[in-house]
Amino acid sequence: MAFFTLSSVALFQKSHHRSWNMTKLSEIICGRRPLVVLLGPTAVGKSRVATQVAKYFETDVLAADSRQVYRGMDIGTDKPTAEERQTVPHRLIDLVDPNEMFNVGWYRRVAMVEIERLYGTGRLPFVVGGTGLYIRTLVKGLCPAPQADPHVRAGLKKLRDDRGRDGLYAELRRIDPETAARLHPNDEPKVMRALEVYRLSGRPLSAMQTEHGFHETPFSSLLIGLERRKETLYRRIEERIDWQLTHGMVEETRLLLGQGYERELGAMKGLGYRQVGAYLANECDYAEMVRRFKRDTRRFAKRQMTWFRSEAGVTWLSIEDNERYERTAERVIARIEEFMGALGQQKQPAALQQAF
């Protein structure tokens, strides 16, 4: 079934004079490397809107979600449904098993491959997600920190086993207080990565990031953020968690544990799996598990918005409580068409004029 009525599509075509082909990018436009990003906090409605936008532009959805990269973690990470994947291809999900290492550097590499593939077929790269660091490194580059080292990582795991998470965090506060100040003490993967960078390079991660500045411009980027009233977003979070728990979240977590994916794995410490894992280990009852799940997800959404608000250049669209997904998608499409129209009207450099 079409997501847009004929009148909706006709309205866009009538009201926007295109200097670019809606579904097929010219070599010149591809040379300007357009990239559209749809971002926002968890449960704001990105996935539903993105599927409709991607269908309109006949392109793929490139996920920017640090949890959807794990295979077998479907309900808890709110992956697109089979129907959504059939309607529009979704890339950059199901990349590794839950016990495999994955970081922002690896994400950027595989994402760049997908982006270049889309340019090669004349399609618009369309990134959708809520992992702010993934999006930042795509749009602004990645600071040249050393790659992960299994021997250093093993030493840090021993430190964690001996001194606990608090010991890890205390060590980070000692050697890199700036990075420690922006990380939660329980965010073990990021705390451990910052410690690893220091042990490998002798320099704080914060100093490397300041030096890099995230000023690279590999793309002509349009960042569109979706937001809702706090009360509405929190209600949607609770409703989604209720849906997850009644549609197999506990069973999915039990299956993962039964397959040997221990609770100490970074993937299993993600929202939902951590709380359900505690329930399955009889560390809390069901009601307490639900309370923690909802509380921690609300806090996570707040941290996401704090991150995104600090990013320059985001065009924010506020979604009304009674606004249909189709209407939000139309608003996003209009912004993208304005962006692409302006990109198509940019004066072409002389070298490019001769080349084409």
pLDDT at 23: 65
For residues 11 and 22, what is the distance between their CA atoms, to the nearest angstrom?
Answer: 14
Contacts of 351 (CB under 8 A, 6+ apart): none
Tell me, yes or no, whether 268 lies in a domain.
no
Q: Is residue 291 part of a domain?
A: no
Q: Which pLDDT does position 353 carry in this prediction?
A: 41
The pLDDT assigned to 81 comes to: 87
Q: Are both 181 and 63 inside the same structural domain? A: no
pLDDT digits (tens, 9 = 90+) for 134-190: 999 999 988 777 888 889 989 999 999 999 989 999 999 999 999 999 888 888 888
In this predicted structure, what is the pLDDT of residue 142? 80
- Do both 56 and 176 map to the same domain? no
107: containing domain: 6-142+217-259+312-355
Same domain, 48 and 100: yes
Q: Which of 197, 212, 227 marks a domain boundary?
A: 212
Are 137 and 95 members of one domain? yes
Q: Determine, yes or no, domain membership for 349.
A: yes
In a domain, 103, yes or no: yes
Answer yes or no: is 304 within a domain.
no
Confidence of residue 348 (pLDDT cuts 50, 70, 90): low
Say if residues 144 and 199 touch (Cβ distance below 8 Å): no
Q: Per residue in 285-326, pLDDT tens?
A: 999 999 999 999 999 999 999 999 999 999 999 999 999 999
* Residue 343 and residue 236 share a domain: yes
Task: Tell me the percentage of the chain whose pLDDT exceeds 70.
Answer: 90
Indicate if 121 and 206 belong to the same structural domain: no
Is the model's pTM score more than 0.85? Answer: no
Please state the domain count of the chain: 2
Q: Report the candidate in 198, 188, 190 with the shortest Cα–Cα distance to residue 167.
A: 188
Phi, psi of 129 (to 5 degrees): 170, 180
Read off the pLDDT band of 214 (50, 70, 90).
low
Question: Could you give the CA distance from residue 4 to residue 328 in angstroms, rounded to a whole number?
Answer: 12
CATH number at residue 57: 3.40.50.300
In terms of domains, do 138 and 225 share one? yes
Q: Tell whether 280 is covered by a domain.
A: no
Q: Which of residues 143 and 199 earns the better pLDDT score?
A: 199
pLDDT at position 207 is 87
